[in-house]
Amino acid sequence: MSDTHDLTRNQSVVLDALRAASRPMSAYQVLDRTAVYGVKAPPQIYRALEKLIEYGLVHRIESINAYTSCGNDAGHGDVAFAVCRSCQSVTEIPLTKVEPMLLSAARSEGFAVNDTHVELFGLCDKCRPRRAGRS
């Protein structure tokens, strides 16, 4: 739970479901996991997800239309997502070094950025064929 936000019961149930998941989940997959706890309607899920994103506890991965809990316990920041095309696993990568360059480039082109969303696609270490001699 966030130190600065008191979560509602629905938000807590949704966040717990996302934290327990091994992969990002669609809103309807979250609904399937939370129905037993009384969170049974899509609007309840979407409202909870919206607030959890606002609080920095959950991310939406747009390309696969899924949600995942924030992997950064130290605080929410802008991140890139490395999405495995084979197993759909997602790794969170902080943008602390890259984002200032992107924002500067955008400003130099006269563009005001109000959100940063970066997704990288490829194969994770488990799905990528092992090369000879690599351990």
Q: Is the pLDDT of residue 73 over 90?
A: no
- Our separate counts of H helices and E strands in the chain read 4, 5
Pairing of strands 118-122, 90-94: unpaired
Q: Is the pLDDT of residue 79 over 90?
A: no
Q: Is the pLDDT of residue 2 over 70?
A: no
- Per residue in 50-65, pLDDT tens? 999 999 899 999 889 9
- CATH number listed for the domain at residues 9-122: 1.10.10.10
Mean pLDDT value of segment 93-118? 88
Sequence-distant (≥ 6) Cβ neighbours of residue 108 within 8 angstroms: none
DSSP-assigned beta bridge partners for residue 83 = 90, 121
Q: Is the pLDDT higher at 120 or at 117? A: 120
Closest-CA residue to 10 (of 35, 51, 39, 33): 39
Q: Is the pLDDT of residue 85 over 70?
A: yes
DSSP-assigned beta bridge partners for residue 66 = 61
- Per residue in 17-44, pLDDT tens? 999 998 899 999 999 999 999 998 999 9
For 72-85, give the DSSP string. -TT----EEEEEET
Cα(15)–Cα(37) distance, rounded to whole angstroms? 12
Least confident of 7-11, 54-58, 111-115, 122-126: 111-115
- Domain spans in the chain, listed from the N-terminal domain onward: 9-122
